[in-house]
């Protein structure tokens, strides 16, 4: 009986590990910047959250009224000199990037509305949530 329980526990552990591995979004790279995009579904959200410590820019896209996540964002990130670093379509609801510490300009577009934020990124994670209702697209973000 104990052998059967141990075997069943092993099967469950392997299945859970496999599910988490399948749900983990694959890191990509563009212009030397490593990023991961995803968070659609509970398993993928958990996998994204497990990777948070590996990235220093953590973006989440949502709708203010309902709280629903968005995954239809066009995201562009430029450095302080105006050099395009990332241009990624269909981003969201979570997007994490590993950037060199510095100042960056984020542009996120959907539904004809573009949010522009200037952010200072250091070694510690910088988290930003953009809501597609009740947020002013002309707001440059907090002074940092």
The structural domain count of the chain equals 1
Residues 6 or more apart from 143 whose CB is under 8 A from it?
none
Task: Read off the tokens for 104.
Answer: 């960056």
Q: Is the pLDDT of residue 6 over 50?
A: no
**Would 137 be classed as within a structural domain?**
no
**Would 56 be classed as within a structural domain?**
yes
What is the C-alpha separation between 57 and 32, in angstroms, rounded?
Answer: 15
**Would 141 be classed as within a structural domain?**
no
What is the C-alpha separation between 97 and 125, in angstroms, rounded?
Answer: 10
Q: What is the CATH number of the domain that holds 105?
A: 2.60.40.10
**Would 144 be classed as within a structural domain?**
no
The pLDDT, as a whole number, for residue 68 is: 81
- Give the structural domain span for 42: 2-131
Q: Are 107 and 114 contacting, i.e. CB atoms less than 8 angstroms apart?
A: yes
The pLDDT, as a whole number, for residue 82 is: 95
- Which one is predicted more confidently, 78 or 144? 78
**Would 9 be classed as within a structural domain?**
yes
User: pLDDT tens digit string along 34-50?
Assistant: 999 999 889 999 999 99
**Would 139 be classed as within a structural domain?**
no
**Buried b / exposed e across 73-98, counting CB within 10 Å, b at 16+?**
bebbbbbeeeeebbebeebbbbbbbb
Q: Are 121 and 101 contacting, i.e. CB atoms less than 8 angstroms apart?
A: yes
Q: Is the pLDDT of residue 144 over 90?
A: no
The pLDDT, as a whole number, for residue 1 is: 54
What is the C-alpha separation between 5 and 34, in angstroms, rounded?
Answer: 42
User: pLDDT tens digit string along 84-114?
Assistant: 999 999 999 999 999 999 999 999 998 888 9
- pLDDT confidence bin for 8, thresholds 50/70/90: very low
What is the C-alpha separation between 102 and 119, in angstroms, rounded?
Answer: 8
What is the C-alpha separation between 3 and 5, in angstroms, rounded?
Answer: 5
> β-strands 126-131, 57-62: how paired?
parallel
Q: In percent, how much of the chain has pLDDT > 70?
A: 77
**Would 111 be classed as within a structural domain?**
yes
**Would 136 be classed as within a structural domain?**
no
Nearest to 110 by CA among 71, 138, 142: 71
- pLDDT confidence bin for 33, thresholds 50/70/90: very high
The pLDDT, as a whole number, for residue 11 is: 46
């Amino acid at each position: 009986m104990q052998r059967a329980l141990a075997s069943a526990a092993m099967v469950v552990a392997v299945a859970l590990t496999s599910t988490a591995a399948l749900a983990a979004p694959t890191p990509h790279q563009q212009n030397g910047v490593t990023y991961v995009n995803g968070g659609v579904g509970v398993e993928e959200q958990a996998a994204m959250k497990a990777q948070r410590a590996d990235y220093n820019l953590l973006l989440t896209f949502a709708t203010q009224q309902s709280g629903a996540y968005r995954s239809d964002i066009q995201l562009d990130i430029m450095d302080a000199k105006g050099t395009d670093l990332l241009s990624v379509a269909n981003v969201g609801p979570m997007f994490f990037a590993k950037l060199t510490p510095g100042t960056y300009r984020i542009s996120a577009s959907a539904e004809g509305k573009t949010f522009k934020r200037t952010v200072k990124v250091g070694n510690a994670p910088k988290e930003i949530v953009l809501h597609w209702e009740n947020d002013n697209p002309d707001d440059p973000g907090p002074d940092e």
